[in-house]
Structure 1
Amino acid sequence: ILSATMCDKPDISEVTSFDKSKLKKTETHEKNPLPDKATIEQEKAAATS
């Protein structure tokens, strides 16, 4: 019979007391944006011709 003890569970006390205001704001930039529908259609047409 298995019983879950405290050592089996991760310690989340640091996570719950984490202060989000200490984080600095960063801008995210898409490195590899997906092509729009028109570009996909052009590539399909070029591939089939």
Structure 2
Amino acid sequence: MSDKPDVSEIEKFDKTKLKKTETQEKNPLPFKETIEQEKAAA
């Protein structure tokens, strides 16, 4: 028995059946200017 997982099914996987999705940033980082303003206020 091997320690490595069985990847034979992964090799047969058809990527064309996947749906295209748009990724959206849910928690975007603040702009550099915003960070500087908050530092200055503290």
TM-score (norm 1): 0.76
Residue 14 (structure 2) aligns with? 19
Residue 35 (structure 1) aligns with? 30
RMSD: 1.1
Deviation (angstroms), 1:9: 2.6
Query: Structure 2: which 5+ runs fail to align?
Result: none
Name the SS of the counterpart of 1:42 in structure 2: helix
Moved over 3 A (4+): none
Instruction: Please tell me whether Structure 1 or Structure 2 has the larger radius of gyration of its CA atoms.
Output: 1
- Residue-pair matches, total: 42
Identity among equivalent pairs (%): 76
Query: Structure 1: which 5+ runs fail to align?
Result: none
CA distance in 2, matches of 1:16, 1:30: 31
